[in-house]
Amino acid sequence: MSQKDNVRIAPAEGKLGLLIPGLGAVATTFIAGVEAVKRGLAAPIGSLTQLATIRLGKRTEGRSPYIRDFVPLASLNDLVFGGWDIYEDNAYQAALHAQVLERGLIDEVRAPLEAIQPMQAVFDPDYVRRINGPNVKRGRNKMDKAQQLMADIDQFRRSNGCDRLVMIWCGSTEVHHKPAAVHQNVRAFEEGLCQDDPEIAPSQMYAYAALKSGVPFANGAPNLTTDVPALLELARENQLPICGKDFKTGQTFMKTLIAPGLKSRMLGVHGWFSTNILGNRDGEVLEDPGSFKTKEETKLSVLDQILQPELYPNLYKDLYHCVRINYYPPRGDAKEGWDNIDIFGWLGYPMQIKIDFLCRDSILAAPLVLDLVLFLDLAQRAGMKGIQEWLSFYFKAPMTAAGLYPEHDIFIQLMKLKNTLRWMRGEDLITHLGLEYYD
Ligand SMILES: NC(=O)c1ccc[n+]([C@@H]2O[C@H](COP(=O)([O-])OP(=O)(O)OC[C@H]3O[C@@H](n4cnc5c(N)ncnc54)[C@H](O)[C@@H]3O)[C@@H](O)[C@H]2O)c1
């Protein structure tokens, strides 16, 4: 600990195990990518922890270290991967199935991928409807299955000699559910597990198992998961950091870049129509109306918060916002997202913006997974517990303390992330005031 540090940060020594429910396109693109980067075969583009710098002190000081040199992060060489899936494919087979990366690159990292055999999943077809697989646990009730997950975690930790673990949900999007009575506190939740309460989703059983086992948890999908009082209480009780929900990648990433810009110039928006076609397994699951509803909620929420129609009714009160996702198999993971934005300017004159983002979902998501696991592990070593709002930067629907609205503006989110790192190390927070340069 340096004298300036505001928090004591334990060193990132030993192995960090990453446990991933859902070894699909995102997870395998992430794992294969880390293995490729370790071997010098490719660069970790898109990752702040690997590439970004952080300015310290005044603009005249010229101090801009890499984030990875400024705070102690686990090294890529110390990462160990494991996970669960309803399919029996190992990570090599799953990466081939996902068809995100070229076969040549996947073959270069075949050995470490083949070594990752998914553990049996906790699965409930009422929560994910379009797919089904054989690699699932059986048990007396949900508590029994959660305990089997805890045994998996323990076994993984021991057999890989891990010093620390982080769990990140990369499983399919579960159908939309609201918090129920069973989610109100840990006692009710545990009773619900024993009584097989239908309101407890598989993702919540993984999160429960992680938090009971002392493992920080991140949620890459829009499912409710840890966004309920019982699991928030458990995270705080066990001094564990958590974050979510729903990786902010393609269209919503674009939205949170553009909407703050329009608002900053006080330009009005009449309507924002967003539509997507994608043909991967994620797209197939999202064809189900229940899963789509979960996704739609997180996708729709961002504009309202950024544009603040309650403060600017003349500009945004009547905004018509619509989001569509269509499963279109020929595109695979190479999705296309269109946005038509009807805006208006000086004296109300209308204009239009069209965006056609030919993106690759998992290529955009993989570096987010890497940053999230490294930052959650940092938070854990720094003794930070509960919701990590400074990681909102990575999410479409950031978790926040009760009563707070989430911050969606990506530039504010980035400032918050970097200021949190500065705060950890006792550096001045950057406010961009800068009057002193003109004294
Ligand atoms: N790729 C992106 O840009 C992006 C952005 C935001 C959110 N997401 C979310 O990330 C998640 C993963 O996306 P993907 O493209 O890898 O999807 P995918 O369908 O390729 O992978 C999901 C995997 O989860 C498995 N699974 C489902 N339920 C499970 C359970 N209960 N336990 C263990 N495994 C389970 C499935 O069998 C599948 O292999 C999805 O929920 C998606 O909505 C992705």
The string of pLDDT tens digits covering residues 57-76 is: 998 999 999 999 999 999 99
pLDDT 10s digits, 180-208 = 999 999 999 999 999 999 999 999 999 99
d(CA 307, CA 312): 8
Ligand 1 surroundings by CB, under 6 angstroms: 21-27, 84-87, 98, 121-123, 128, 131, 133, 170-173, 202, 220-221, 246-247, 249-250, 280-282, 361-362, 364-365
Q: Per the structure, how many domains does the chain have?
A: 2
Please give the residue that has the higher pLDDT: either 332 or 123: 123
Residue 5 included in any domain: no
Is residue 121 located within the same domain as residue 135?
Answer: yes
Indicate the residue among 358, 386, 410 that finishes a domain: 358
335: DSSP letter: -
Residue 61: give its domain's CATH number.
Answer: 3.40.50.720
23 CA → ligand 1 middle, Å: 7
Report pTM.
0.95
Apex CA 45: angle with CA 252 and CA 24, to 5°? 65
Q: Whose CA is nearest to atom 33 of ligand 1?
A: 85
d(CA 128, CA 55): 44
Residue 2 included in any domain: no
What's the whole-number average pLDDT of the chain?
Answer: 94
| Predicted pLDDT of residue 1 | 61
Q: Which of 28-37, 395-404, 416-425 has the lowest mean pLDDT?
A: 395-404
CB 419 within 8 A of CB 430: yes
Beta carbons within 8 Å of 219's beta carbon, 6+ residues apart: 168, 169, 203, 207, 225, 226, 227, 242, 243, 244, 245, 246
d(CA 188, CA 77): 41
d(CA 373, CA 50): 13
Beta carbons within 8 Å of 263's beta carbon, 6+ residues apart: 306, 307, 308, 312, 315
Is residue 301 located within the same domain as residue 171?
Answer: no
Is residue 240 located within the same domain as residue 271?
Answer: no
Residue 192 included in any domain: yes
Residue 336's DSSP bridge partners are 277, 358
Residue 394 included in any domain: yes
Residue 64 included in any domain: yes
Is residue 401 located within the same domain as residue 276?
Answer: no
CB 205 within 8 A of CB 146: yes
Residue 37 included in any domain: yes
- Burial group, residue 246, by CB count within 10 angstroms (0-12, 13-18, 19+): buried
| Predicted pLDDT of residue 385 | 96
Q: Whose CA is nearest to atom 5 of ligand 1?
A: 247
Atom of ligand 1 nearest to the CA of 124: 31
Is residue 83 located within the same domain as residue 39?
Answer: yes
CA torsion sign, 124 to 127 to 130 to 135?
A: negative
Is residue 274 located within the same domain as residue 242?
Answer: no
Probe target for ligand 1 pocket from 173, 280, 282, with the most ligand atoms within 8 Å of CB: 282
Is residue 237 located within the same domain as residue 264?
Answer: no
Beta carbons within 8 Å of 18's beta carbon, 6+ residues apart: 79, 80, 81, 82, 165, 166, 167, 168, 373
Give yes or no for residue 439 having a pLDDT over 90.
no
- Domain hosting 171: range is 15-247+363-424
